[in-house]
Amino acid sequence: TENLDVDAIRADFPILHQTVHGKPLVYLDNAASSQKPRQVIDALREVDERYYANVHRGGHQLSNEATSMYEESREAARRFLGAKSNKEVIFTYGTTSSINTVAHAWGVANLAAGDEILVSEMEHHSNLVPWQQVAARTGAKIKALPITPDGLLAMDELPAMLSERTKIVAVTAASNVLGTINPVEKIIRQAHAVGAVVSVDAAQAAPHKPINVVEWGADFVALSAHKMLGPSGVGILYGKQELLDAMPPFLGGGSMINTVTIEGFTPAMLPAKFEAGTPPITAAIALKAAIEYLENIGLANILAHEQMLAEYAHQLMADIPGLKILGPDPQQKAGIVSFTVNGVSPNDIGMMIDTAGVAIRAGHHCAMPLHAKYGISSSARASFYVYNTREEVETFVAALRKVLAILA
Ligand code: PMP
């Protein structure tokens, strides 16, 4: 059953109303990037047409307007995340840059030989590689919480993997391949009990479910606007104020300083301390429109809609010979359906189904260790969002059957 007025929602997304290869576009690559509603596109254009100027160094009218809109967007992000203070909400260039800030600023200052960094086997490369870089620099060691065969974190193994050597737990709130929604609160509670800090990759959670950083108890949370109806090039790093205050800045440059001499600098107050250089001004301001769009629909409603679509896809795909869906039941995940078909290359599926107008993604999805765990090197992934319909799920599965009739 449908809980959203998807027709009305679709009317807000100009890009969806087109044909590709002569077929109506069925856009199922939302885990990579979502599309933008008119409200976000209008916000982008409005800023560039009327309010654009560099922020925070103003004095003149346009700069003051751009600055106040930039700060209003920060306030929207604070509310969206449930953070206590705007000082804890840092504009970055995306999840990758948020996580790199935590790894290189907090990590380098706080990790040493003998310390442990706990990740999981389902991490995106952007929540692995920065930790590997920091481990190489500091001598800290990386451990990975295993996943179960059905694609859940092996939570019963967590207590044994945590010790006073564990300095940070870096874990995703939702997998970009399996869709699995992880028990972040529980992980944080257990990690805090051994004194570890927890950094949550919310790139795939923020678009699809309500999140509240205070309820989680998270120390750091990273997300990207482009996966939640917003523009690319901007993201958020949430950090607890006392941690952000205590750690050194990451990037150095303009805006992040209080005073500078030839010999040295003193850092600016939060959040400027972590916003070196000119930020993605237009994109950051337009993020507010995306947040408001999501809040108007309601994140819980969005998750229910996606899970309904995922469940329908599971049902329609169930009798396809040799097809295996990776990950848990639809009720335990966001609307992501990754799959393999015996003897068929996921890339071939992706390329051929594109000719039917269906946009899915094939590859390792920046999660090579996860695929290795399943003994595969790639998978095909259909990922749903707020504007997808049951009819599109039907079109996708019908096209998949045709493709497999040729390939299998
Ligand atoms: N983590 C997860 C779980 C993701 O899905 C992604 C995007 N695929 C990232 C991190 C990286 O995000 P970005 O490319 O926007 O920096």
95-128 pLDDT per residue, tens: 999 999 999 999 999 999 999 999 999 999 999 9
**For residue 290, what pLDDT is reported?**
98
Ligand 1 contact, 203 CB (< 6 A): yes
**Measured from the CA of 93, which atom of ligand 1 is nearest?**
16
Neighbours of 168 (CB within 10 A): 26
**Which protein residue's CA is at the shortest distance from atom 6 of ligand 1?**
203
Q: Quick check: 50 pLDDT over 80?
A: yes
Q: Quick check: 57 pLDDT over 90?
A: no
Ligand 1 contact, 201 CB (< 6 A): yes
**Measured from the CA of 98, which atom of ligand 1 is nearest?**
16
User: What integer is the mean pLDDT of 350-364?
Assistant: 98
Preceding amide of 328 cis, omega within 30: no
Mutate which of 34, 98, 124 for ligand 1? The one with the most ligand atoms within 8 Å of its CB, which is 124
DSSP state of 51: I
At 369, list the tokens.
Answer: 């260790």
ipTM above 0.95?
yes
What spacing in Å lies between the alpha carbon of 207 and ligand 1's midpoint? 12
What spacing in Å lies between the alpha carbon of 226 and ligand 1's midpoint? 10
**For residue 56, what pLDDT is reported?**
84
**Which protein residue's CA is at the shortest distance from atom 8 of ligand 1?**
32
Residue spans of alpha helices (H) in 232-329: 241-246, 281-297, 299-317
Q: Quick check: 187 pLDDT over 70?
A: yes
Residue of 154, 297, 316, 366 with catalytic role:
366
At 345, list the tokens.
Answer: 């290359």
Ligand 1 contact, 224 CB (< 6 A): yes
User: What integer is the mean pLDDT of 210-239?
Assistant: 98
- Give Cα 10 distance to the centre of its chain: 22
Ligand 1 contact, 100 CB (< 6 A): no
Q: Quick check: 1 pLDDT over 70?
A: no
What spacing in Å lies between the alpha carbon of 41 and ligand 1's midpoint? 22
366 among known catalytic residues: yes
305 CB-contact burial (10 Å; exposed 0-12 / middle 13-18 / buried 19+)? buried
User: What integer is the mean pLDDT of 261-268?
Assistant: 98
DSSP state of 350: H
State the pTM of this model.
Answer: 0.98
Tens of pLDDT, residue by residue over 120-148, are 999 999 999 999 999 999 999 999 999 99
What spacing in Å lies between the alpha carbon of 159 and ligand 1's midpoint? 27
Average pLDDT, the chain: 97
Ligand 1 contact, 124 CB (< 6 A): yes
Neighbours of 316 (CB within 10 A): 17
Ligand 1 contact, 94 CB (< 6 A): yes
Confidence of residue 86 (pLDDT cuts 50, 70, 90): very high
Neighbours of 217 (CB within 10 A): 17
Ligand 1 contact, 222 CB (< 6 A): no
Tens of pLDDT, residue by residue over 277-328, are 999 999 999 999 999 999 999 999 999 999 999 999 999 999 999 999 999 9
Q: Quick check: 6 pLDDT over 90?
A: yes
Give the H/E segment covering residue 395.
helix 390-407
Ligand 1 contact, 120 CB (< 6 A): no
What spacing in Å lies between the alpha carbon of 94 and ligand 1's midpoint? 8
